[in-house]
Amino acid sequence: MGAALKGDWQYDSERGISFDTLSDARMDPATLATLEKRNGFFILHLKGDPYQRGEAHGKLLKNEILYSNIAHYYGSFLFDLYRSSGFGKKIPGFAQRPIGELLESWYYSPLEKKCLEETRAELCGIADATGLDRKEVLRSTLAPDIMEHLAAGFLKGGKEALGNYYLGGCSGGYVKKTALKRNAPALFTANMDFPGALVWIHPTLIFSHPTEKIEVVVESPDGVFRKTSKEKQPYMYVSTAGFPGHGLTGMNASGIAMAAFVCLSKDYSRKRLPLLDFNHYLFTRAESIEGIIHLLETENLRSASAHAVVFADKERAISLKTAASRSMVREMTRGFDILVQTNHFLNPLMKKKEMEFPLERESTIGRFRLIKDALEAGYGELDRQKMIDIISCNLDRVTLKTALQGDFPAQSITLTSVLFEPETGNFWAAAGKPPAVCYHEYRGFNFFAEIKGKGRSARLFLSLRTWNLLR
C-alpha cells in the first residue's frame, strides 16, 4: 500500500479522490485506501470499517464499475435466469415481468435479511459512492444462491441443463509433503468458473485492512477454543471492480487460502446464511483450520445453498461440504498428500439431493478425475509449474489433445485461476480478462508483503506440455 503513496499527487474535488499524475495511482484521502495498476491487475487496498471500505472501493473504481455494469448483471440474475428457463418461456409475454417481480420478492427478500451486516454495509458503501441502487448492488452478491435456488425449483435433475448458466467447471487441488518435489512448501490451486465473462473485465486483487472488532475463535495453549473480541484480520480476495469477492477465492493473515465450488442440490433454504457470506464468516472468524471446524460444529452452521469450500494452509487442507440441512468436513486421506475438489459432493448423504444434470456429470466429475489422475501421475515431482499446468489443462482424455471445449476447466466462464503457497504468502493469479483466463500468463504476488505495503511481483508461464500430465 505504501508504494502507491509516492508520486505527484493531485486532488480531484469532483471525484473526492487524489490521483498520481505520473502513474495514475489513486487514493481516498478519507481512509488512505489506495489503488494502483500493477502486473496486470488493479491492486486495491481498503482500510476502515465495512462501509468505509465499500465507499472507498466505489470512489476509486467508479468509472470501471459503471462501465462494466456488473451490479446490474448480477443484481438482476434471477429475472434473467427465470426468463431463459423452460418455465419462463411457457408464460405469455405480458405476464412475464409481473411474475418475475413476484419471484424476485420471493427469492431475494429472505436472503437479503440473512446477509451479514458487514456485507450489507460494504455493498451499500459501493452503491453510495457510484450512485447505483443499493438493493441491486446487495443482490449482486446473492447471484450464486439465486442460480441454485431457481435451478432446484424449476428444473428436473437428470433431464435438463440450465442453458449457459450452469457450466460447472470450478476445480481445485492441494498438495503437500510427499506429493511435492524436494519437500517444497504446500500448494493449493483453484479455478473459479461462473457466469459473468462480459462484466468481469477489470481484474482486481482486493486487500482489506479492517479496523472493526469482531468475535474471533482463538485456541489457547491448552488446546481449548474460546471466542475473544479483536480486530478482524487482514484478508485478500481475487475479484473484479465492483464485486468485493467475499467467499470466492482468497487468503488471510493466518496463512489460510480458500476457494468455493458451487454444487446443484435440492437441499436449499432461504433461511440460512447466503453462500458467499457463509464462506466469508468462517474465513474471517477463525485463525486456523481447526478453528474453522470448531466454529462450524459449535454454531451448527449451514448454508442457504449447497456448495463446497476448501480451506488450505501450510500443513493441511479440508473440503467443507454444506447445504441447508447439514455440513460435513472431508479431511485428507492419511498418508496421501493430495486433496481434489470440483462442483459435486462425494459424501453419500450430501449426494442424495444433488441434481445430476448431464452437463454436471460429464464435466465436473470428469474434471475431478482428470485433476486427481494428473496429481497422482506427478506425485513426488509436483511443483509450482506443474500445478499451474494442471489447473490450466483442458485435456480431452480420449484424443489426448487440448481444446477450449475439452474436459472443462477453461470454458468461457473461467473468471479467476490462482495458485497459492500458504506458508510463504506467495500466490500467482492468471492475468487478463475472461474468457478462459487460465490460458493466460500467471502473475505473482506476496500476500504478507502487500499487507505491509511492500508489494512485489513475479511471473509464471504455462509450459504448454499438458499432453504429458497423465504420463
Break the chain into its structural domains and give their ranges: 171-200+258-468
Q: Are β-strands 235-240 and 249-252 bridged in parallel, bridged antiparallel, or unpaired?
A: antiparallel
Q: Are β-strands 17-20 and 26-28 bridged in parallel, bridged antiparallel, or unpaired?
A: antiparallel
CA-nearest of 471, 470, 406 to 438 is 406
Q: Burial level of 435, CB count in 10 A (0-12/13-18/19+)?
A: middle
Tell me how far apart the alpha carbons of residues 461 and 449 are, in angstroms, rounded to a whole number: 22
Could you report the average pLDDT of every consecutive run of 10 residues in the chain (471 residues)? Answer: 65 92 92 94 97 98 97 82 62 68 80 96 98 95 88 57 45 96 94 89 97 95 93 98 97 98 91 97 97 97 97 98 96 93 88 68 68 93 93 70 48 85 95 84 93 76 49 50
Residues 6+ apart with CB under 8 A from 404: 394, 410, 411, 412, 436
CA-nearest of 353, 409, 321 to 158 is 353
Cα 259 from chain centroid?
Answer: 6
Q: What is the DSSP letter of 13?
A: T
Beta strands in 145-290 (DSSP E): 171-175, 187-193, 203-210, 213-219, 225-231, 235-240, 249-252, 257-262
- Look at residue 95 in the predicted model and tell me its pLDDT: 67
- Look at residue 410 in the predicted model and tell me its pLDDT: 43
Q: Count CB-CB contacts under 10 A for residue 130.
A: 22
Tell me: cis bond preceding 435? Omega within 30 of 0 counts: yes
Distances (CA, A) of 117 to 121, 213, 277, 289: 6, 13, 10, 24
- Look at residue 85 in the predicted model and tell me its pLDDT: 60
- Look at residue 404 in the predicted model and tell me its pLDDT: 52
Residue 186 near residue 314, CB atoms below 8 Å: yes
- Look at residue 45 in the predicted model and tell me its pLDDT: 97
CA-nearest of 386, 334, 331, 318 to 178 is 334
Residue 198, C-alpha cell as written in the block = 462480459
Q: Count CB-CB contacts under 10 A for residue 56.
A: 30
**Residue corresponding to grid cell 460429464:** 362
- Look at residue 383 in the predicted model and tell me its pLDDT: 95
SS3 state at 287 = coil
From edge to edge, which strands make up the β-sheet containing 426-430?
338-342, 171-175, 187-193, 414-421, 426-430, 442-446, 458-460
Beta strands in 87-167 (DSSP E): none
Tell me how far apart the alpha carbons of residues 115 and 344 are, in angstroms, rounded to a whole number: 25
- Look at residue 98 in the predicted model and tell me its pLDDT: 75
Residue 117 near residue 52, CB atoms below 8 Å: no
- Look at residue 355 in the predicted model and tell me its pLDDT: 77
- Look at residue 102 in the predicted model and tell me its pLDDT: 75
Tell me how far apart the alpha carbons of residues 215 and 226 are, in angstroms, rounded to a whole number: 10
Residue 298 near residue 227, CB atoms below 8 Å: no
Distances (CA, A) of 421 to 170, 317, 445: 19, 12, 10
Distances (CA, A) of 169 to 19, 302, 304, 323: 39, 23, 21, 19
Alpha helix segments (H runs only) across 167-324: 275-285, 289-298
As a CATH number, domain 171-200+258-468 is 3.60.60.10
